[in-house]
Chain A
Amino acid sequence: MENKKGNRLWNFFASVKLALFTIFVLAIASIIGTIVPQKEDAARYVELYGANVAHFFQLLSIQDMYNSWWFTSLLILFSLNLIVCTIERLPHIWKVVVQDNLAATSVDRLRKMAMRHDFQGQLTGEPALESVRRAMRDAGWRPSQTEKEGGTLLFAQKGAWTRLGVIVVHVSILVIFTGALIGSFYGYKASVMIPEGGSVDQVYQSNNQHTPIPLGFTVRCDDFKLKYYDSGMPKEYRSLLTVVKDGQEAYQKSIVVNDPMQYGGLTFYQSSFQPMDGQFSVQITNDKDKASQKFVIYPRQENKWPEEKVSFGIVDMSGPDMMQRYQYKIWFSDGKSSPSEFWINQGGTARIKRADATYVLIANPRYATGLQVVKDPGVWTVYSGCIMMILGLIVIFFMAHRRVWVFVSNDGKKTNVLLSGMSNKNKLGFERDMESICNRMEEVAQLTAPAK
């Protein structure tokens, strides 16, 4: 009784009907989350749908649907279904893969196969068999053979292993889920703003702003650059990041949106930026001795570069212009000649000629770069699952298990050869394979098809 009950539950999870049902429900449920905005503030839902509907949404966690208990349950049901189906099917499939087709196939069955051809020949005994084997080898098949009642049975097959493709694809989905689980248990996603010249050694997870996660090293943003196309469209966001570990500069990388920095099991993505209110970043280079220094300054204050005996400041600004750029009025003095005042564009370069040297000055707002910091040890598991899936799909859809049997018998006067074949897919392609074997039977083994 107990056993039967267990069987019933097992059969429930092993059924393809359940798979179709789960897929259908998952598809329909997924639509909800694409229509109702996700992860907004509670007030937003009241505003959009009214208090009652918003309350109902709250009950069903519609505002974060894909992480809700019921959606997760659906995914678990889907996984259980996959696991049980796989366990259920694997032994049957494996049996076919390793099956001894010489022993398992009766001559009677060969005569009933849809694809079969009869031949006759004059050779008898071992020479007859050898000529048939050569014909098969010429056509690209490697036969094994056994003695049966009334004659000899030869068998060759291709792609028996391709039957495992189905299993590979189903397991690949489980592998992807496993990767996702690893990521959600052992990984995190955080975001952090680092002002130019500033550094951080801990980050806060997006959904938990209270407990800091120590990085184990320090990340410094040396520079953030924003580039625009002539049309004013953003072209590039670039941050120069330096990793400082135990007081040493351990690693440096200039990152852009599609090219993150990887260090210490973490990945740092360029995700946003913001100008620091009322702060500016000025870079001055002495063209002659190549000395260069970057300063964070506030407007209407005098700043000094003591090594070069230079003083400078931003005394006025205007903008933004059509390209969202500001203009700055710079005051510059090297203490010898009279100070100069001039306007430059944000991000633009000014060359200031002095008796001793020429100074190159670039002024920008001081930016903070916004980084997404991700630790996801499951990502390679997910990728392996993806590769498995594609390879598995190719095997399932484009490769077939093809089997060819040849029964050679002698009726006292002549040798009779029966060629039968079977393919689990692509019957059209297999017909061509069979045709090619037939041709070899006639040409190589000197057999003839009986007149109909």
Chain B
Amino acid sequence: MNSSQLLGFTTFAYLFASILYIAIFVFRAERIGIVASLVTLVSFLAQTTGIVLRWVESYKMGFGHAPLSNMYESLVFFSWATAIFYLWLEWRFKNRTIGAFAVPFAFLSMAYASFGSQIDSEIKPLVPALQSNWLIAHVVTCFIGYAAFAVAGGMGVMYLLKDRHETNVGGKKGQDSGLLATLPSLRVIDDLIYKCIIFGFVWLSTGIITGAIWANKAWGTYWSWDPKETWSLITWFVYAAALHARFVRGWSGRRIAWLAVIGVFSVVFTYYGVNFLLSGLHSYGRPTE
């Protein structure tokens, strides 16, 4: 068994888990809930093993490094972080209906890593600029943040769907028998979005800071307005604004849900768009031409 087989298996396992969670949501099949959780857990464990194996394999190839160094490896790690964050959320808040809005992220990220034509999954040694212990600290902190923001965005969509539905039905509880009735109440979703944003914000801040310290160690400047840095700051601004709007101006519900969704676009652009569309110092994640 090697890492690429395991990670390939993981892709399909997350697909299966996503289908199960969507089934729970669409068919109100709460009975299969435990199966969905187990499948996700198994996929997550397989993925963890896959990542560790890839790490070991890189050592066997003679240039060992943590598997966090290029687009492929970061997509896998993003998927991993989303899965563990979701599993924690499910366990903490005892609710499986949110799985349909979170686990598909883990699957899509793996699917893109595995089948994207521009993504090179080969294990490669590190260029001199990446040979640093800050690599792990920086990538891990950033991606835990991204995972939390992705889940917050998924729940933002969930909120907006349910909110629109309730407005149409007339907002009376207990009466509607539609799909969305199984979702947690708007108040609970709102609270979860907010908690995910808080969690993500702390990790994103730490990610930007570890990045700055590393940049200073490697290049002698902790901030150079490189597109990647700037976009991470823009994302930070989006969430800082969302938190202030809520804390001080009492925003909640629909407006915070929209901000959570906008935030995900900013995250995706920071992570993915910058590598593909803009040029700069931070070109490690760039696809091979």
For A24, A180, A382, the residue with the greatest tally of chain B CB atoms inside 10 Å of its CB is A382
B144 interface hit (Cβ, 8 Å): no
In the assembled complex, the Cα of A221 lies from the Cα of B63 at a distance in Å of 28
Q: Please state if B279 and A37 are interface contacts (CB–CB under 8 Å).
A: yes
Q: A231-B125, A256-B131, A393-B201 are in contact. List 5 more A-B contacts (CB 8 A).
A: A27-B237, A31-B234, A237-B128, A390-B202, A397-B202
Return chain A residues, CB-CB under 8 Å to B274: 34
B29 interface hit (Cβ, 8 Å): no
B206 interface hit (Cβ, 8 Å): yes
Q: Please state if B202 and A233 are interface contacts (CB–CB under 8 Å).
A: no
Q: Please state if B220 and A389 are interface contacts (CB–CB under 8 Å).
A: no
Chain B binding site: helix, strand, loop or mixed by DSSP? helix
Return chain B residues, CB-CB under 8 Å to A189: 220-221
B212 interface hit (Cβ, 8 Å): yes
Return chain A residues, CB-CB under 8 Å to B112: none
A26 interface hit (Cβ, 8 Å): yes
In the assembled complex, the Cα of A267 lies from the Cα of B198 at a distance in Å of 37
B1 interface hit (Cβ, 8 Å): no
B161 interface hit (Cβ, 8 Å): no
Q: Please state if A393 and B222 are interface contacts (CB–CB under 8 Å).
A: no
B95 interface hit (Cβ, 8 Å): no
Return chain A residues, CB-CB under 8 Å to B279: 37
User: Top 8 closest A-B pairs, CB basis?
Assistant: A374-B220, A34-B227, A258-B132, A257-B128, A27-B237, A66-B225, A386-B209, A16-B248
Interface stretch among B76-84, B173-181, B238-246?
B238-246
Return chain A residues, CB-CB under 8 Å to B127: 233-234
B278 interface hit (Cβ, 8 Å): yes
The listed residue (A35, A233, A386) touching B212 by CB distance below 8 A is A386
A308 interface hit (Cβ, 8 Å): no
Question: Which A328-382 residues sit within 8 Å CB-CB of chain B?
Answer: 372-374, 376, 379, 382
Q: Please state if B202 and A372 are interface contacts (CB–CB under 8 Å).
A: no
Q: Please state if A260 and B217 are interface contacts (CB–CB under 8 Å).
A: yes
In the assembled complex, the Cα of A258 lies from the Cα of B218 at a distance in Å of 5
Question: Which A144-196 residues sit within 8 Å CB-CB of chain B?
Answer: 180, 189
In the assembled complex, the Cα of A111 lies from the Cα of B248 at a distance in Å of 27
Q: Please state if B230 and A16 are interface contacts (CB–CB under 8 Å).
A: no
Q: Mark A248-283, 1 if CB is under 8 A from B, else 0.
A: 000000001110100000010111000000000000
In the assembled complex, the Cα of A30 lies from the Cα of B227 at a distance in Å of 9
The listed residue (A30, A386, A389, A393) touching B233 by CB distance below 8 A is A30
Q: Please state if A389 and B218 are interface contacts (CB–CB under 8 Å).
A: no
Return chain B residues, CB-CB under 8 Å to A379: 216, 222
In the assembled complex, the Cα of A143 lies from the Cα of B2 at a distance in Å of 60
Return chain A residues, CB-CB under 8 Å to B206: 390
B164 interface hit (Cβ, 8 Å): no
Q: Please state if B244 and A16 are interface contacts (CB–CB under 8 Å).
A: yes
B27 interface hit (Cβ, 8 Å): no
Return chain B residues, CB-CB under 8 Å to A212: none
A269 with B237, Cβ < 8 A, contacts A256-B128, A258-B128 known:
no
B186 interface hit (Cβ, 8 Å): no
Return chain B residues, CB-CB under 8 Å to A19: 244
In the assembled complex, the Cα of A409 lies from the Cα of B195 at a distance in Å of 40
The listed residue (B217, B219, B222, B234) touching A271 by CB distance below 8 A is B219
B213 interface hit (Cβ, 8 Å): yes
B272 interface hit (Cβ, 8 Å): no
Question: Which A14-60 residues sit within 8 Å CB-CB of chain B?
Answer: 16-17, 19-20, 23-24, 26-27, 30-31, 33-35, 37-38
Q: Please state if B128 and A20 are interface contacts (CB–CB under 8 Å).
A: no
Q: Please state if B230 and A33 are interface contacts (CB–CB under 8 Å).
A: yes
Q: Please state if A20 and B218 are interface contacts (CB–CB under 8 Å).
A: no
In the assembled complex, the Cα of A390 lies from the Cα of B201 at a distance in Å of 10
In the assembled complex, the Cα of A233 lies from the Cα of B240 at a distance in Å of 40
Return B210 CB to nearest CB of chain A, in Å: 9
A257 with B249, Cβ < 8 A, contacts A34-B274, A233-B124 known:
no
B129 interface hit (Cβ, 8 Å): yes
A383 interface hit (Cβ, 8 Å): yes
A269 with B219, Cβ < 8 A, contacts A16-B248, A233-B127 known:
yes
B205 interface hit (Cβ, 8 Å): yes
A229 with B63, Cβ < 8 A, contacts A26-B237, A27-B234, A372-B220 known:
yes
For B132, B134, B227, the residue with the greatest tally of chain A CB atoms inside 10 Å of its CB is B227
A226's closest neighbor in chain B, by CB? B128
Return chain B residues, CB-CB under 8 Å to A257: 128-129, 131, 218
